[in-house]
């Protein structure tokens, strides 16, 4: 519970930049103008048309069924509806489990989404929990990405497996798995390339990476997590489809949620992609990554 409390504190500090449904539910008559404002706010908050309609229809039924006349009484019901909607998706908010050695976590996403930073944040989180972690720099196209991961590795005190710029990403991952297996390392976190404009090559590369992992770790659980930039809003969904084509994604990490004016993106991601949100980035610092706890996030949106 202490953990949820601390997430709430962090979210409350960010709240100013989110859409303000709180005041709508603070009290007042439930009339047509209430429903119109709710609809407008949800759409503006990036919840998406279909889900907005679904939530409003359900909430109207609840209000009618329970004979609720004041908006403040409806708030808890609305939170419940949204939390239920999020939790319908298996794995929602579930942290990565370190089961076998090594547990492999592939971090994918377009350049600039926050991949490298997120890989480092995750590595730090698991190191703090007492696990041994290895980072792998499989974005071999950008010297800056390799360097950035090495800088993070130095800061956190973790080894980074890297090859030269232009090297084969699958070979980097192969080496990282070999090294982790030899040293009994718990986890390998892999930063990958994200040049979506060369979509075909990128997909081929990711398929090759997947084959290497499956061949080398056939029985081990591995995660493929897509880092999405929360600021991109609805535009982000196309990316998920593209990456899902090549890899079976096991979830989304929503980066830069602290910068997103549209907090409702959490609902849109869940609805449109049917993928669980596993972690959320709340800042640029190494500690600014939290497991996605649906209730804490939804309550913050409505506070």
- Which residues are at the interface with ligand GDP (CB under 6 A)? 109, 111-117, 145, 194, 255-256, 258-259, 281-284, 288
Closest approach, Cβ 24 to ligand GDP, in A, equals 27
- Is 193 marked as a binding-site residue? yes
Of the two residues 48 and 281, which places its CB atom closer to ligand GDP in the complex?
Answer: 281
- Is 262 marked as a binding-site residue? no
Contact 137, 191 (CB under 8 A): yes
What number of other Cβ atoms are within 10 A of residue 167's Cβ?
Answer: 16
Closest approach, Cβ 65 to ligand GDP, in A, equals 40
- Is 192 marked as a binding-site residue? yes
Omega before 218 cis (within 30°)?
no
Closest approach, Cβ 151 to ligand GDP, in A, equals 11
- Is 140 marked as a binding-site residue? no
Nearest to 215 by CA among 249, 251, 173: 173
Alpha carbon distance 223, 103 (integer Å) = 8
- Is 139 marked as a binding-site residue? no
> Which pair of structure tokens corresponds to residue 185?
């390392």
Closest approach, Cβ 13 to ligand GDP, in A, equals 13
Of the two residues 268 and 280, which places its CB atom closer to ligand GDP in the complex?
Answer: 280
Of the two residues 27 and 112, which places its CB atom closer to ligand GDP in the complex?
Answer: 112
Of the two residues 253 and 275, which places its CB atom closer to ligand GDP in the complex?
Answer: 253
Annotated binding site for GTP: 109-116, 191-195
**Binding residue numbers:** 109-116, 191-195
């Amino acid at each position: 519970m202490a953990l949820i409390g601390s997430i709430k504190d962090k979210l409350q500090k960010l709240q100013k930049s989110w859409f303000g449904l709180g005041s709508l539910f603070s009290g007042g008559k439930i009339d047509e103008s209430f429903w119109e404002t709710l609809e407008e706010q949800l759409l503006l908050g990036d919840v998406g048309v279909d889900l907005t309609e679904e939530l409003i229809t359900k909430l109207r039924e609840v209000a009618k069924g329970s004979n609720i006349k004041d908006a403040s009484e409806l708030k808890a019901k609305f939170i419940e509806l949204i939390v239920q909607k999020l939790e319908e998706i298996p794995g929602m908010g579930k942290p990565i489990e370190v089961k076998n050695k090594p547990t492999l976590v592939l971090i994918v996403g377009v350049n600039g989404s926050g991949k490298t930073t997120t890989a480092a944040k995750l590595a730090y989180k698991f190191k703090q929990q007492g696990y041994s972690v290895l980072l792998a720099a499989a974005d071999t196209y950008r010297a800056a990405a390799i360097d950035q991961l090495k800088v993070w590795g130095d800061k956190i005190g973790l080894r980074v497996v890297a090859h030269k710029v232009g090297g084969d990403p699958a070979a980097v991952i192969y080496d990282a798995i070999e090294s982790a297996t030899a040293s009994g390392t718990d986890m390998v976190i892999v930063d990958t390339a994200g040049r979506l404009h060369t979509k075909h090559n990128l997909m081929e590369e990711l398929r090759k990476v997947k084959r290497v992992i499956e061949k080398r770790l056939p029985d081990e659980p591995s995660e493929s997590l897509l880092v999405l930039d929360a600021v991109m809003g609805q535009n982000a969904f196309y990316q998920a489809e593209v990456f899902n084509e090549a890899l079976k994604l096991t979830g989304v990490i929503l980066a830069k949620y602290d910068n997103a004016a549209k907090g409702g993106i959490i609902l849109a991601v869940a609805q449109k992609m049917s993928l669980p949100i596993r972690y959320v980035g709340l800042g640029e610092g190494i500690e600014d990554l939290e497991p996605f706890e649906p209730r804490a996030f939804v309550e913050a949106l409505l506070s």
